[in-house]
Chains A and B, each alone.
Chain A
């Protein structure tokens, strides 16, 4: 059983272990499991150990974790977040060889907190996908069953945490890309409220939906990571000037008296029976801990996928226009600029990215804009209203993160629409701009695969989610299960 971040900090502070040993431990673990898991696209080992040595020098000089809460803690990063001097590829051929000239704000903040930033974690190309099979380089496998996908798009982030290759990771979540892989791999993943965490240095997929968030082994670690990365940033005009609470301080308040809503629209036909049963018993557990459970309704849930795949692809088609072979990335020469753009993009992007650019271009095109894009934006208003209405009655919402456990590699690749439908419980949260977290809530019988419980919270209600997650975790052992020998 690998250490949590909190465990590691205690040992670093007590000089039981050095930052170099912790970092080397991650690298050794990678040597042991990467042949099978393939969570990392690359890793600059020398740079990682160099940072670890610097952390050890700081510890020796008397710097404490009070001053630098993550001093000496290795954190790995999804391949769409900029780390100065390191590759940034979005798991796409079109960015082959790109080196970041600057640090993303989240990376800068983790460095300020003392963390060791290492590795480039695999993902679906440009975060478009739910299985990490859309990586241009390699599929990542689920640490619990290598014939299955780890989820996506932050599949490398979730698999590396679950397999013990890092203490924590950063991912991004546009329609479930942190919560769904966290559920499939058996770790904790949090999508913060829109505007909670700066997106500066995150390669944009759908700008009104994207958020960076942490993945780790338990909620206490998530609280620590979120505290370090959250907060207003002058480099991101969509980040919000909302004070960052002491998430760790509020963790152990329990759930007594908290009102939790269970959406009847999430416990629908099509929900895997084992997932349903595990979700149900997790809800009963929360009730036994003192939470008040109430059935609620989110009546527009059934329209969320259609709304999402119009809005997200529309924004993506616009954001990805920048990859034209002029200023960075791959270029395929042509006789004139138009030919160069078309060839560069035609050869540089993978199938799913092209599909979404095409869809987004279509729904924004003259004559179709009102019928698709504008209509979807109106439905988005209804979806947000559903949540705001529910939050008048309840403090947080609980339900399944995914309709089924991790599926097999290749199982849904041939049918994009079937793949999109697996996001049903996670996309409404992004459309509404609220926060959500997945915590482990048990395993299917055979094969043994992790299942995630999703907690959804009010705008800037991350502290309540962490509190509920923590109470559940304290009363169960699921988060202590570990997949690989």
Chain B
């Protein structure tokens, strides 16, 4: 496992979280402690051990491509922070 090398601002950017400088400082210390703790996994010899993503064997589930009842667009939009003409409204993306 690599040395704990935390660039909090960069991780915050990847996570799309705006953090105050106080939060950056606090999170840096707390995550450092947790990452220090999880390094105990380095003690284990893991050669040949398969990684496990899930407890049950997953198979791809498909169904016939037929239209089935689903949310009405009004229901899908009922919790939207901003909407217009039956669509979600977002800040301008393309100049």
Q: Are A346 and B79 in contact (CB under 8 A)?
A: no
Residues of A within 8 A of B51 (CB): 374, 377-378, 380-381
On chain B, the number of residues with a Cβ less than 8 Å from chain A's Cβ atoms is 52
Residue of B nearest to A342 (CB): B18
Residues of B within 8 A of A329 (CB): 79, 81
Interface of B is mostly: loop
Q: Is A306 an interface residue (CB 8 A)?
A: yes
Question: Pick the contact of A101 from B11, B78, B90, B92 — CB < 8 Å?
Answer: B78
B-contacting 9-mer, from A21-29, A214-222, A358-366? A358-366
Q: How many pairs of A and B residues are in contact by the CB < 8 Å rule?
A: 170
Known A101-B75, A238-B56; judge A362-B35 contact (CB<8 A).
yes
Q: Assuming A101-B71, A328-B79, A335-B91, is B34 touching A379 (CB within 8 A)?
A: no
Known: A99-B79, A329-B79, A337-B90. A303 touches B52 (CB 8 A): no
B33 touches A417 (CB 8 A): yes
A356–B14 alpha-carbon span in the complex (Å): 13
* Interface positions of A from 94 to 133, Cβ below 8 Å from B: 97-99, 101-102
Query: Contact partner of B61 among A208, A237, A321, CB < 8 A?
Result: A237
Contacting pair A354 B2 (CB below 8 A): no
- Please give, as numbers and ranges, the residues of chain B lying within 8 Å of A194 by CB-CB distance: 54-56
**How many angstroms between the C-alpha atoms of A342 and B19 in the bound complex?**
9
Shortest distance between the CB of A200 and any CB in chain B (Å): 13
Contact B44 A379 (CB under 8 A): yes
Q: Is B82 an interface residue (CB 8 A)?
A: yes
Interface 1/0s, chain B 9-26, versus A by CB < 8 A? Answer: 001111111110001000
Q: Which of B31, B53, B76 contacts A359 (CB 8 A)?
A: B31
Residues of B within 8 A of A371 (CB): 1-2
Task: Name the 7 nearest CB pairs between A and B, nearest first.
Answer: A433-B55, A346-B18, A377-B51, A331-B81, A328-B79, A237-B61, A306-B38
